[in-house]
Structure 1
Amino acid sequence: MQSVYLISNVNNGGKTYLEYLLPALNALRNHYNCIVLQTNIVGVSKFEAEQFLGCPVEEVGLDDIGKLKSQVIISNDASIGKLIDESNFSIFIAHGNVGMPLADVYYCSGWTSYWDAIVSSSRSLFDLIKTGMYYFRRDRVALRLELEPDRSRTDLRNTSAVSVLPIKIPDMFSAPPEFRCMSEEYVVGLLPTQIGICPSGASLFENMEVVINSVKSQIPHAKIIFRPYMTDFDRPYVKELCEQLARYPWVSIDDTKGSSKDFYRICDTIITDASSGGVSFMLNTCKLPIYYVPVGHDSSPIVEAWLEQMEGLLPIAKNGDELKDMVLGFKLLTSEQKYFIYKKFYDSEYSGLHHPDEVFLELVENRHESRFRYCVIDSFGGAHDNFISDPERALQ
């Protein structure tokens, strides 16, 4: 039986990041010899990973990954792409269910450009990847970017963008769910994305006073749960901020490294700067997030493109007054009104896409000829989109 390697390597990543590998593993384990590898930088033990994935897990170093030849490799971490030997067919499972308003004009192409295929559920994310990879490969060809040292493969290659239904959420809600009020509390989750991702001045960390004051001025009894990105807990600034916030009885710090779904379950709304977790929250709960993107920090081409994409689809506050209006307004919305916003977004991003079981199996078998390709980005950054723009084509 042919082998497929699934690699977990997200720095300090907990079960949230193992959840990206699980759908691929489930799709392939009855058809291929699936070998799961885990490095020592992740945030879960070998035992925890084995219990979660339901299969053996081997602990390896990065050198071991570099020794793999002529294999299919699937990973939840883009940064190892440059270490993978050129003889392998590599598949990166992109994080999140939507694009993010990042400062990086290349949209992380310094990592993603090494991969043969990128799997994602989001049309808007693929559009941002196409934009970023166009600028990245154009500048690489023109020698405006230096080559990465010690790399095992080229970053100027054909990269297939492969569409799939969201891999970490339940099936689409067919009707507005009933929200059971367990207490009089109203819980607001604060979900900043990783430090350095947002444009200067636009991160939740830099706007914490505005955000918290907006919440408490509108809903004085609100409880706040602060969940920084897991690797940011080691930063002195974040440690100090957590200590300051923890002094308030209505603030708690989520440092559990547990599944995001547990966090989503207890929140009534989530405020974030750029995290795709805001959308994941909505997809899991049918409750609404708020993206706080202050005016004056939208000059990045990626941020401008994201704002244009999400206009009318996601709740976006561009100043403190808009944030206050949304915080109070969301508390007053009916389940039907929330469902209308949820369904409009879902239909725009995911309609016509296919189940991970079908997509991953077909991708491993057919590689660059996968019928689920959204587009192919060539070695010069040009995007060729004439693949599954018509959802019915994928069924032929």
Structure 2
Amino acid sequence: MKNVYLISNVTRGGKTYLEYLIPALNALRHTYNCIVLQTDKTGLSRQEAEEILDYPVEQVEVEVIANLASQVVISNDAWIGRLLDDSNFGIFMTHGNVGMPTKDKYYYAELTSYWDVVISSSRSGFDLIRSGLQRYRPDRKALKSLIADGIALRADLRKTSPVATLPIKVPRFFESAPVSDKASDDYVVGLLPTQLGICPSGASLYENLQTVINAVKSQLPHARFILRPYMADLQHSTLKDLCSQLSAYDWITIDTAGTSSTVFYQQCDTIITDASTGGVSFMLNTCKLPIYYVPTTEESNPTVDVWLQQMNNLLPIAKNGDELKELALGFSLMSPEDCYFIYKKFYETQYNNLPLPQDVFHDLIENRHDSMFCQLTIDSFGNINERD
């Protein structure tokens, strides 16, 4: 029976990122010899991981992963691709259900370039991965872009196929607007910053919290807030100080570490984020609308510009405090049917007719770049080769 290695290695990724392996594991466990490897970076014990996956897990050092040869490797962590031997066929599953307005003009191609297949759970993510690799590889060949850190064991200028699938971690599509059970005088705004260093300078939600909170409070004085820091930032000294200051206000709650995203989503009437894919996950899980606060910065950024074009008329986006005020007030007046109309349009635009991830995994393992789902490949020069 053919081996398939599934690797969990996201730093402090916990249950959230381990769950990205579940669709692949469930689809493949009865057909292949699936071997799940986890490093100590994840923040989970082997026993905890086994309970979540309902499958045996091996706790290993990265050297074990670096010694794999001529295997199929599926991972939730892009960085680990640098350690794979060239003889392996590597499949990376990107995080989230939509692209991000990140400051990285290559859209993390410095990491995804080591993989043979990059799976994205949205059309926008697929487009950003493709355009990022197209920009990165010519610069990499010209030595304008170098390996971020350390020595890679694997060639990053390889044939890579981006593949778009239905979201890996999203519940069923809402056929109609769900009934709201919230009290009319209770309005909770979730604040969901993405990881420090992801946004362009001046665009992080942390940098704009005063503007954001004041804009909402000016329209909805009774609003309460829940700040959910990014899990990998919880030990950052600046963030600890910020949370301590915000805790002085009885209408601001700091979400506790370990609280599931589902519980957080259910508490909120809306979520304001800077770039987190959790804003869309909130909409897909609740049929309520997020607000993306993407302030205009001095420098033009190709990734942010493409993302704004993609999301135009699909997601509520505020570029300054006044626009945020209008959206905050408008959201409080919208009916569930109004929200559902926007949700449905977004869902159909991003996911309609995309394949199920479990179908994709099977075909990729058997046929690799000849898989029916590899409709295009990007070569070492950044050229796109489309299938006839």
- Do the structures match in fold with TM over 0.5? yes
> What SS does the aligned partner of 1:234 have?
coil
Equivalent position of 2:146 in the other structure: 146
- Residue 332 to residue 17, structure 1, CA distance change in 2 (3 Å): same
Counterpart position of 1:259? 260
Instruction: Count residues with an aligned counterpart.
Output: 387
SS in 1 for 2:92: strand
Q: Determine the structure 2 residue equivalent to 1:248.
A: 249
Shift of 1:182: 5.7
Measure how far apart 1:84 and its partner are: 0.6
Write the letter of the residue equivalent to 1:261.
Answer: T
Residue 55 (structure 1) aligned with residue 55 (structure 2): yes
Q: How does 1:259-338 map to 2 (within 5 A)?
A: 259-296=260-297, 299-338=300-339
Counterpart amino acid of residue 158 in structure 2 = R
Deviation at 1:43? 2.0
Pair 61,281 (structure 1): closer, same or farther in 2 beyond 3 Å: same
Moved more, 206-215 or 182-191: 182-191
What aligned pairs does 1:64-75 form with structure 2 within 5 A after superposition?
A: 64-75=64-75
Q: 1:346-379 CA distances to partner (integer Å, 9 max, x unpaired)?
A: 1111111112221211211211111122532111
SS in 2 for 1:199: coil
Q: Give the letter aligned to residue 213 of structure 1.
A: N
User: For residues 13 and 40 of structure 1, do their structure 2 counterparts lie closer, same or farther at Cα, with a shift above 3 Å needed?
Assistant: same
* Counterpart-to-counterpart distance in 2, 1:249 and 1:176: 32
SS of the aligned residue for 2:161 comes to strand
TM-superposed CA distance for 1:258, in Å, is 3.7
Supply the distance in 1 between the matched residues of 2:232 and 2:252 (Cα, whole angstroms): 21
Question: How far is 1:265 from its partner?
Answer: 1.7
Q: Between the two proteins, what is the percent identity of the paired residues? A: 60
Residues 201 and 297 in structure 2, CA contact (< 8 A), matched pair in contact too = no
After TM superposition, give the deviation of residue 149 of structure 1 in Å: 4.0
Q: For residue 106 of structure 1, what is the amino acid of its counterpart?
A: Y
Residues 176 and 339, structure 1, Cα contact 8 Å, conserved in 2: yes
TM-score computed with the length of structure 2 as normaliser: 0.96
Which region of structure 1 is more displaced relative to structure 2, 361-370 or 291-300?
Answer: 291-300
* 3-state DSSP of counterpart to 1:373: coil
- Counterparts of 2:44 and 2:298, CA distance in 1: 36
Aligned pair 1:43/2:43, yes or no? yes
The SS at the match of 1:220 is: coil
* CA-CA distance at 1:172 after TM superposition: 1.2
Shift of 1:221: 1.8
Give me the whole-angstrom Cα distance separating, in 1, the residues matched to 2:87 and 2:372.
23
Any gaps of 5 or more consecutive residues in structure 2?
A: none
Rounded to whole Å, the distance in 2 between the matches of 1:349 and 1:375 is 18
Residues 201 and 297 of structure 1 are in contact (CA less than 8 Å); yes or no, is this contact kept in structure 2? Answer: no
Change in Cα spacing, 1:374 to 1:195, as seen in structure 2 (3 Å) is farther
The one-letter code sitting in structure 1 at the alignment partner of 2:365 is V
What is the deviation of 1:383?
2.2
State whether residues 190 and 224 of structure 1, in contact with CA within 8 Å, keep that contact through their aligned partners in structure 2: yes
What CA deviation, in whole Å up to 9, does each residue of 1:13-55 have, x standing for no partner? Answer: 1211112111111111111111111111112222211111111
Q: Alpha-carbon deviations, 1:190-226, whole Å to 9, x = none?
A: 1111111110001101101001111222222222111
| CA offsets 1:279-323 (integer angstroms, 9 cap, x no match) | 111111111000001123561011111111111011000110110
Q: Distance in 1 between matches of 2:181 and 2:387?
A: 45
Structure 2 Cα separation of the partners of residues 10 and 101 of structure 1: 21
What is the DSSP-based 3-state SS (H/G/I as helix, E as strand, rest coil) of the residue aligned with 2:42?
Answer: coil
Q: In structure 2, what is the Cα distance between the partners aligned to 1:297 and 1:309?
A: 21
**1:170 shift after superposition:** 0.9
**How far did residue 2 of structure 1 move?**
1.4
Partner residue in 2 for 1:390: none
